[in-house]
Amino acid sequence: MDILTCMFMSILMVADGKYYLHGPTGPLFAPLGSSVVLPCYVDAPLLIDDLEVEWRKADSENLVHLFLNGESRPEAQQEDYHDRANFFTDQIQHGNFSIRLDNLTAEDEGQYKCNVDSQQGSGEIVVQIKHERLIVSGADQSVSTYDGEDVTLNCSVDSHLQHEDIEVSWIRTDGDILVLLFQNNQTFSEAADEQYSDRAEFFTNEIPKGNFSLRLKSVRTEDKGVYMCRVFAGGLSANATVILEQLGFSSWHIAVLFFCFAAGCGVVLLLFSLLYCRSKYNVSTNNKIWNLQLSLVFCPNICMFFAFILWGFTEGKSVTIRTHQRIMKWRICLHLILLFHRHRY
């Protein structure tokens, strides 16, 4: 039978059919330096006088431990397993042939064979040990998007741990700003920094699959930077970083630039026209001067009003407040210009 198939079998029938040998249903995970029990047992007790139980490392055939003629034989062990691999000797007479392997090292990872031989039958199961590890992966390259659009920052967790035991936090590294938090099987969006409130979210349906990617909505220019997906689970930790950069101009920003350009050009053009008409002042140009003065006050103001309103929609509430302040400054400046010309003429 294929060795990988044996590894995942929980019950293996012995050749003569008199008993069943039990093992784990899958790999055993344990951190380095810890202890792990490699299960191998039968349902009913066996006579131990002629019982032989042999544990070996599958890839090297090194002898891990041996039970023979009614007692364990530590002297037969490979040197690497001295004082580290032990039977539960008081349980062997009850059909429990499991061993405990202490102080796990990186070399201990792999497959182990439990071979049982007695007058009542024989059989073998395979147990696999894997080091407990946490692998977190993010984007392979920088992520770019247009301002105002949504963007996905990838983060996937490869682990045997249940997602209920995992804590995931998305951090903006320049300032250690919390963007979003997953803890105790819940998403805590209220714990995020104010600038990401209602803009950051997980793909909830993907979390059971280990997908903790972040969706950032309505991206702003100031969102550009390095983001870290930090994962804690079972005493382990790992992280992955995603770079959000190369943010381009959206149609909103192009409209803002257009209105700003129109306002600037309009001020220059109207101001020169006003100065020219005043230099040629006569009765016939009086109405034209008045119209130019009104245009100088209102037209640039209207253009800047639309520009700042659009900028406020693009960049958020904090910018909208600054928008009103800037509009007031423009209006004050233009009124001062108008008053200056009235006083002069």
CATH code where residue 194 lies: 2.60.40.10
Would you say 157 and 166 are in contact if contact means Cβ atoms under 8 Å apart? yes
Does 63 lie in the same domain as 37? yes
Would you say 238 and 132 are in contact if contact means Cβ atoms under 8 Å apart? no
- Give dist(CA 208, CA 211) in Å, integer: 7
Does 257 lie in the same domain as 185? no
In this prediction, residue 66 carries a pLDDT of 94
- Give the closest residue to 125 by CA, choosing from 64, 198, 53, 74: 53
As given in the structure block, the two tokens for residue 37 are 């029990």
In this prediction, residue 317 carries a pLDDT of 41
- Give the closest residue to 117 by CA, choosing from 31, 190, 53: 53
In this prediction, residue 309 carries a pLDDT of 66
pLDDT by residue (tens digit) across 226-258? 999 999 987 788 899 998 885 655 566 666 667
In this prediction, residue 307 carries a pLDDT of 64
Q: Find all residues with CB under 8 Å of 169, minimum gap 6, and list them.
A: 178, 180, 181, 182, 229, 230
Does 165 lie in the same domain as 143? yes
Would you say 65 and 116 are in contact if contact means Cβ atoms under 8 Å apart? no
Would you say 105 and 31 are in contact if contact means Cβ atoms under 8 Å apart? no
pLDDT by residue (tens digit) across 49-106? 788 999 999 988 899 999 988 888 999 999 989 989 999 988 888 889 999 999 998 8
Does 155 lie in the same domain as 239? yes
In this prediction, residue 320 carries a pLDDT of 42
Does 177 lie in the same domain as 119? no
68 burial type by CB count under 10 A (0-12 exposed, 13-18 middle, 19+ buried): middle
Name residues of the chain where pLDDT drops below 50: 1-18, 317-324, 343-345
Does 236 lie in the same domain as 256? no
Residue 98's domain spans which residues? 3-131
In this prediction, residue 335 carries a pLDDT of 55
- Give dist(CA 196, CA 180) in Å, integer: 8
In this prediction, residue 3 carries a pLDDT of 37
